[in-house]
Amino acid sequence: MKKVIVTLGISALFAACSSQPKEQTEKVVTETIENPTNSVVLSSEVNWEKLNPARGDASPQAGTLWGDRKGKVATGFLAKFVDGFSSPPHIHNVTYRAVVISGSIHNDDPSAEKMWMKPGSFWTQPVGEAHITAAKGDENIAYVEIDHGPYLVKPTEEAFDNGERPINIDASNVVWMGSDKAEWIAPNSGAALSFLWKNENLKGLFIKLPQGFKGHINSEGDIFHAVVIQGDLAYTLPQSGETKSLDPGSYFTSSAKAKHDVSTNEEVVIYVRTNGELEIN
């Protein structure tokens, strides 16, 4: 089953999320957080292991950022592929979402023509659907996210159709909304949002910060996971005042209301999964 190519549709579906009444957006965190839960994981601190041990040295590498892909909980991890990698046709026991961080990645039906996704592209892979994954480039890394585990690879003989359809948004087709359309963004900040998906109380989106940005990403949810997709982000931990440089593949999080103090020397794109409102100022 061929991928569905999405351009304007996804952001249009979630435009309502970006137009909350102003009295709601003003409730977003503005006070000092007494017991901050902020933490970071640098890409250099990621512990890599085999994504599919059954394939031995031919397996891609995986590095967990949050959760436990071998357990039953929601999880986010990095997947790394060597140049020229191509998997055999297979299925997964869970649906996953993914964002290309570096290199070029193809993910589609075994018979489909190669469609190489560049950094900043987003795709979904439905549970039970046969597909292959391929990669080309000196370094090929994607962020992968599941709503529950474990994450398993199974043979195509067990393929089934659960009604979900794959989605593929090339980086060039991402639709960005600025402060004129998204009240979560402070005027004149130069920031932008792109809504990718929504599932009950959870949502996933891109945040784009311009070069020279210095401010905050305020989050109200008790679920907040953020992965740097493009550019280098300076992140200041509120507990210590220490500023860390987060390159692509690095991760920051909080488990309660939080203020994320960030700045940029270049354009930065961040993928965020959260169950609360956000404010960028």
Q: Pick from 122, 149, 172: which residue ends a domain? A: 172
Within-domain flag for 91? yes
Is there a domain that residue 2 lies in?
A: no
In order along its 281 residues, the chain shows pLDDT tens digits of 445 444 444 444 444 444 444 444 444 445 678 899 999 999 999 999 999 888 888 899 999 999 999 999 999 999 999 999 999 999 999 999 999 999 999 999 999 999 999 999 999 999 999 999 999 999 999 999 999 999 999 999 999 999 999 999 999 999 999 999 999 999 999 999 999 999 989 999 999 999 999 999 999 999 999 999 999 999 999 999 999 999 999 999 999 999 999 999 999 999 999 999 999 99
Residue 4 lies in a domain: no
Whether residue 190 lies inside any domain: the answer is yes
State residue 31's pLDDT score: 63
Polymer length of the chain: 281
Domain span at residue 78 reads 45-172
CB 116 within 8 A of CB 104: yes
35 and 50 inside one domain: no
- Judge if 50 and 159 occupy the same domain: yes
- 65 neighbors 229 (Cβ within 8 angstroms): no
Produce one character per residue of 113-141: b if its CB has 16 or more CB atoms within 10 Å, e if not: eebebebbbbbbbbbbbbbbbbbbbeebb
* 3-class SS of residue 56: helix
With residue 11 as reference, give the H or E element that holds it: helix 9-13
- Clarify whether residues 103 and 164 are in a common domain: yes
Same domain, 164 and 180: no
Overall number of domains in the chain: 2
Q: Is residue 71 situated within a structural domain?
A: yes
SS3 61: strand
Extract the tokens encoding 5: 């190519």
Q: Does the residue 113 lie in any domain?
A: yes
Six token digits for residue 163: 């009604």
Element of type H or E holding 141 = strand 132-146
Residues 245 and 133 grouped into a single domain: no
SS3 208: strand
Is the Cβ–Cβ distance between 29 and 218 less than 8 Å? yes
d(CA 252, CA 173): 26
CATH number at residue 253: 2.60.120.10
**Within a domain: 229:** yes
Model pLDDT, residue 200: 87
- Residues 94, 75, single domain; the answer is yes
In 3D, which of 144, 76, 121, 101 has the Cα closest to residue 230?
Answer: 101
Look up residue 221 and give its two tokens.
């949810």
In a shared domain, residues 79 and 141: yes
37 and 103 inside one domain: no
Return the bridge partners of 209, or none: 268
Residue 5 placed within a domain: no
- One domain for residues 76 and 96: yes
Name the 3-class secondary structure at 280.
strand
Same structural domain for residues 189 and 241?
A: yes
Final residue of a domain: which of 125, 140, 172? 172
Q: How far apart are the first and last CA of the chain?
A: 42
Same domain as 244, residue 165: no
Cβ(165)–Cβ(130) under 8 Å? Answer: no
Rg of the chain's alpha carbons, rounded to an integer?
18
- Same domain for 53 and 99? yes
Domain end call among 172, 199, 231: 172
In angstroms, rounded to a whole number, what is the distance separating the alpha carbons of residues 190 and 213? 8
Provide the pLDDT for residue 13: 44
Whole-angstrom Cα distance, residue 114 to residue 214? 40
- The predicted pLDDT at position 57 comes to 86
